[in-house]
Amino acid sequence: MSWNGVPETVRWTGMSIEKRQKTEMRQGHAGTGPGAITPDGCAVELYARLPVGDEPDIVTAAVPPGAHILELGSGVGRVTHPLLERGFMVTAVDESAEMLERVRGARTICGTIEGLELGETFDVVMLGSFLVHTGDERERRALLDACVRHVADDGCVLIQREGQDWHTRVPRERVDASGFTVRILSADPVGDGVNSVRAEYEFPDATWTQTFLSRPLTEDEFEEALREAGLRVDRRLTEDGVWMRAVKATRG
């Protein structure tokens, strides 16, 4: 997928690198609600409100203390900030400058994951937010290639997948303890094994929606996608297999 955007500055303890943010919407993605919307349909104000879940605990249990983590698709830092508090070093990558403006205490890089060429490797690369389910198989390969390019030979890649029934158990809703309701309203086939998913987040004072394309992956399809990119599954990090730890296939 190509990205046409405006030049954006990457800040890292005084260093400055010219990068580009993606500004046009990704095909099949849309978002509604107050504030800026990212190319994949996420609302910046929504992610600034969403509480963190068990992600920091899962990562902490899977990687060495103090590891340098490359977090791909970091958003506003919902997961980044608790990881920093736990003593990890984080480099946060996102194609949305509006999202990255909210990140504090981490090196931030504005650009697409597909185009990322930092010329350095990390102990841990995180591909969260179900990005591995992108509808476009070439883009999925490009995302996984970016993970492989940036992970140290003895490092690991942490990947967050969708649950196996997420596209069939619709509509469904969950009321969060902090006072908002999240609904998955529909997951409609749009061809070639891809679904158009519509999600809604309702707060007392505002409602956001996101529509995005997602390709469900069986266990075999996931492992094959990793294999093609030169990765292999090391282990499940959660019983439901949503979080997976992968390593370079060349590693013994």
Distance CA(166)–CA(226), nearest Å, equals 21
Q: Which is nearer to ligand SAM, 200 or 249 (CB)?
A: 200
The yes or no reply on residue 83 touching ligand SAM (CB under 6 A) is: no
Q: Which is nearer to ligand SAM, 139 or 228 (CB)?
A: 139
Report how far apart, in Å, the C-alpha atoms of 138 and of each of 48, 155, 157 are. 30, 24, 19
CB of 218 to ligand SAM, least distance (A): 23
The yes or no reply on residue 150 touching ligand SAM (CB under 6 A) is: no
The yes or no reply on residue 21 touching ligand SAM (CB under 6 A) is: no
Q: Which is nearer to ligand SAM, 49 or 250 (CB)?
A: 49
Question: In sequence order, what E strands does 165-242 have?
Answer: 172-175, 181-191, 194-202, 207-214, 231-236
CB-nearest residue to ligand SAM:
75
Q: Per the omega criterion (within 30 degrees of 0), is the bond before 51 cis?
A: no
CB of 179 to ligand SAM, least distance (A): 18
> 118 to 137, contacts with ligand SAM by CB under 6 A?
128-129, 131
Residue in 31, 38, 159, 242 binding ligand SAM, rule: CB under 6 A: 38
Distance CA(229)–CA(143), nearest Å, equals 9
Distance CA(146)–CA(174), nearest Å, equals 33
The yes or no reply on residue 140 touching ligand SAM (CB under 6 A) is: no
Strand, coil or helix: what is 217? coil
Q: Return the bridge partners of 136, or none.
A: none
CB of 49 to ligand SAM, least distance (A): 11
Task: Quote the radius of gyration of the chain (alpha carbons, Å).
Answer: 17
The yes or no reply on residue 8 touching ligand SAM (CB under 6 A) is: no
203 secondary structure, DSSP code:
-
Residue in 47, 88, 201, 208 binding ligand SAM, rule: CB under 6 A: 47
Size of the site for ligand SAM (CB under 6 A): 19
CB of 252 to ligand SAM, least distance (A): 31
Distance CA(178)–CA(54), nearest Å, equals 15
The yes or no reply on residue 212 touching ligand SAM (CB under 6 A) is: no
Distance CA(112)–CA(95), nearest Å, equals 5
The yes or no reply on residue 106 touching ligand SAM (CB under 6 A) is: no
CB within 8 Å of 15: residues ≥ 6 apart: none
Interface ranges with ligand SAM (CB under 6 A): 38, 40, 42, 47, 73-75, 78-79, 94-96, 99, 112-114, 128-129, 131
